[in-house]
Structure 1
Amino acid sequence: MTAPFPPGAPLLEPPPPRPALRRSRTDKVAGGVAGGLAQYSGVDALLWRVGFVALTLAGGTGIAVYLLLWLLMPAGPRTPADGTPAAPPGPRSPVAGITVAGLLIVVGLMVLLTRYTGLDLGARGFLAGALLVVGLGLVASAFARGRAPRGGLIALGSVLTLALMFASSVHDWDEDGHGPGGGVGNREYQPTSVEDVEAVYRLGAGNMEIDLSEIDGDDLGGREIRIDQDLGNLEVEVPDDVAVRVVLDQDGGNTEIFGQSGDGYFPAEDADEDDGGDEDGDRDPALVLTIDHGVGNVEVSRA
């Protein structure tokens, strides 16, 4: 038989029960999922939110996981389980104000560097610097005492992240869309001589029209033009009497290349071997169009 506990011996208290996995009604930014996970696991809610953002940026799974948990996790009680009134909120942490001030200072310094030095940070540089400051503010708020309004910082960080992703998907191009530049907006080009024709036309997002119908085909001499466009419609018009070869690589959208659809290789048509063509009927073209297009419609036609 087991010996009874001696008189006066302290009894071991059972461990406190683990709270049920529920969405938080008090610590929430969107649906209270991160707050509920924090209450259940003891891990700070900010770290859960950073994890969801990281999963979203890594492959887009963060949003799916968050929505799934939102559907599966029931909402938590409006009042504590013991019925006691909620504790009054503590003093507000100064982290948010310091973060906003630091954000303004950093952006101002970057503007000065761009204005008075040869350093060109570009949109991505400004967004990355601002996002870095907001991220440091979120990390500081996880360890700061008092109530830190993390929701506002998380919302600001999310907007900056989306803007940075968009800016990174658009090449660092100039305002006119030539050479190494491009940008966002609608572009129309109508060169009247070979000297006015650019070797590269680029555009990040928007519609682009390139009218080459005024160019004398005898002056082209096998000229190659590269067209890069990420998002939007593209229309190219070439001279009627010029042999044109088109090489198209398109991600998505409708295509009409001299009446043909699809992407790939479009030889210089209406030629035979006596006119400098090869056995496939593709003669040496006066103009070669190499088109790298993202999403949108592409049309190449004759004047």
Structure 2
Amino acid sequence: MNSTQQTGGFEATVRDFWATRPVRPSTGSKAAGVSAAIARRYGVDSILVRVGFVVLFCYGGAGLVLYMLGWLLFPKEAAPLPGQTTPRREPTRTWVAVTLVLLLVPAMLWMINSIAVLGLAAGPISLYFLHRNQGDRQVTGTSDPPAQATPTGENTWVYPGTTAQQTPPSWDPLGAAPFAWDLPEPQEPEPPEPRARRFRWYNPLALLVAFVGATAVASLGAPGYFATATALGLLGVAMMIGAFLRVGRWPIVLAVPLALVALLSSVAHQYRIGDDLDLGDVQVAPVEITDVQPVYDRDAGTLDLDLSALRISTGDVVRTTASVGAGRVQIRVPSTVDVSAECEVEMGESICLNRHSNGQDVHQSITDLGPDGPGGGEIVLNATAGTGNVEVIRD
């Protein structure tokens, strides 16, 4: 065991980590080789290391920033020099390092004030404890040099396979006496004893904890997506701990479909998709002010609200909201009324009284008095769509 890992403090551990930090392999990596480097350096499964980066990515993208830091700071394995067998360590290429720094500076400044700071702290802390426990492990072993006759004094030699010092006879100045040739016959190595699996209880326990945690959260009235995300988070923690124990790969088989279920249930909750779905296309064309509903709402589909024939006089004010979770909202207004419209789209396109905008989190606030100026009544609209299009058109 490395003395640094046994008795060294924080500074000694950090110095030892930097001196023996992981080397990104030239082969066997999926991207820049950061996960493979950590796995090979500390003897853990590379899949679990990659899972760790994915889990930390959920904290505001912290996993991506930590991966880029590893790319920047971990050297690259290079071919050995002529006459040598040990691979060299090459620093990250200059143009790659410059690109990474330019990306990391704004990312770090943005993340420092968000939940991503938890992920940024969790990465170095995990690596620190991993080095404390596994830092003495060598990436590749070295074989002992072959035994040679070693001089121990004038005319005194130790022959291979012996411990007693002997003096070669005068006729054998090189020390190659026949008794040095009497070597033991080679024997077949004994087969290693099968290693018993350690922590066989770990995978079932991890699944049980994830199930109990999700059930407990659901029993408290939490929505389905939150309970699913709780189970996914507990499985992620179990796989991170399993990386230290060199077990716990099996839960990833359940974690992948569970992540898809959590994503779909989150979208369903956000857009209010449940048992009482409001789906399909609806067209409404009220004529009297009293026919206008305060809210028109659909979960998915097209909502066409035609107010072009609405009888509205000067001084009258009509307020209504048209909303769709996924789809299209279209509202037509008369040509001679004053219109105040709030158009919002979480992801998609908005055409609000001839003003066009698209992208994510689109918000337009428009007031249009029409070609005849103020007067002729007023319509106040709030048109929203989760994913899709919003259009407010003057007839």
Q: TM-score, normalised by structure 1?
A: 0.56
Aligned twin of 1:267: 368
What are the equivalent positions in structure 2 for 1:1-303 lying under 5 Å apart? 18=20, 20-22=23-25, 33-40=34-41, 46=48, 49-59=51-61, 62=64, 65=67, 69=71, 91=197, 93-105=200-212, 113=219, 120-142=221-243, 144=245, 146=247, 148-152=249-253, 154-156=255-257, 158-159=259-260, 162-163=263-264, 166=267, 170=270, 186=280, 188=282, 190=284, 197-201=292-296, 206-213=300-307, 216-218=310-312, 221-227=316-322, 232-238=327-333, 243-250=338-345, 253-259=348-354, 261-262=356-357, 263-272=364-373, 277=374, 283=375, 285-293=377-385, 296-301=388-393
Aligned residues: 258
The runs of 5 or more residues in structure 1 that have no matched partner are 1-14, 114-118, 278-282
Q: How far 1:58 sits from its partner (Å)? A: 1.0
Aligned residues of 1:34 and 1:49 also touching (Cα < 8 A): no
Displacement after TM superposition at 1:155 (Å)? 3.0
> In the TM superposition, what whole-angstrom CA distance separates every residue of 1:120-146 from its partner, at most 9, and x where no partner exists?
432333333322432343355345565
CA distance in 1, matches of 2:296, 2:60: 31
Structure showing greater Rg:
2
- Any conservation in 1 of the 2:343–2:383 contact (CA below 8 Å)? yes
Identity of aligned residues (%): 17
In structure 2, distance between residues paired with 1:128 and 1:105: 13
Unaligned runs of 5+ in 2: 1-15, 79-138, 144-191, 358-363
CA distance in 2, matches of 1:237, 1:264: 17
| Change over 3 Å in CA distance of 1:252–1:55 after alignment to 2 | closer
Please say if residues 187 and 209 of structure 1, whose CA atoms lie closer than 8 Å, have aligned partners that are also in contact. Answer: yes
2:303 is matched by which residue type in structure 1? Answer: E
Contact 2:383–2:390 under 8 Å retained in 1: no
Aligned-pair CA distance for 1:288: 1.0
Say which SS state the counterpart of residue 56 (structure 2) adopts. helix
Q: Distance in 1 between matches of 2:382 and 2:229?
A: 33
SS at structure 2 position matched to 1:210: strand
Residue 372 of structure 2 aligns to a residue in which SS? coil
Q: Name the SS for the 2:60 alignment partner.
A: helix
| Amino acid in structure 2 at the alignment position of 1:268 | L
- 8 Å Cα contact 2:203-2:250 kept in structure 1: yes
Q: What is the CA–CA distance in structure 1 between the aligned matches of 2:245 and 2:389, rounded to whole Å?
A: 52
Conserved 8 A contact 2:353-2:394: yes
Q: Superposition RMSD on alpha carbons, in Å?
A: 5.3
TM-score (norm 2): 0.45
More strand by share: 2
Aligned amino acid, residue 321 of structure 2: R
